[in-house]
Chain A
């Protein structure tokens, strides 16, 4: 079945460092990947989208890559801050309305 897999272990980093989260997809080829942020008790909030023909996309301190050979996307937060602590969800779709989500990776940024 089509899957998006993210590291289920929480990522702990020091403030100011770069956080890198991994998203792998299996059994399908998404045309795009999205990254969302989810805080406790809230719904996910869209951050970035990258299409399969794009290698890299940036938005402020965020950078996303899409490697169709490795079937992987990397999500980077540079100069991380405690306010960046949240769960980050990766999602991939092939078109239409159906988007497959991963379970998310929890990020903790320590001051």
Chain B
């Protein structure tokens, strides 16, 4: 496996529910990411954290709330979602950012994803 775990793997929720997605990386990486993947669409970057600090928020609606308590854990808190938010939510981590030391690749290690269905 990739060293990045996500729970739950599947989640069905109503529009009024509150739920959280969890991601944990065992690779000692400094950066963690949330992506949304919808069918036949590109991965959409949602949030990036580097050393627990948020460095990217890609104009994500406030019904998605990230939390990064330490470099190994990342959460995505969900509330009052819409049916169009149904998608595969992927967590990833990387050692550093692109443009870092020569030879760094910003290779991202992805978890298996959480398949979210909003009814």
Chain A residues proximal to chain B, CB less than 8 Å: 4, 8, 31-32, 34, 41-46, 49, 89, 91, 93-104
Contact = CB atoms under 8 A, between A and B. Distances in A.
A99 to B, nearest CB: 7
Contact of B106 (A41, A44, A93, A104): A93
A90 B107 CA distance: 12
Contacts of A8: 40
A90 to B, nearest CB: 10
Interface of B: 2, 4, 31, 33, 35, 40-43, 45, 48, 50, 55-56, 90, 92, 94, 97-99, 105-113
B109 A101 contact: no
A96 to B, nearest CB: 5
14 contacts: A4-B42, A31-B98, A31-B99, A34-B106, A41-B112, A43-B111, A46-B108, A49-B105, A89-B43, A95-B98, A95-B99, A96-B98, A97-B31, A101-B35
Nearest to B45: A98
A95 B99 CA distance: 5
A32 B106 CA distance: 10
Given A8-B40, A89-B43, A93-B98, A98 B2 contact: no
B89 to A, nearest CB: 10
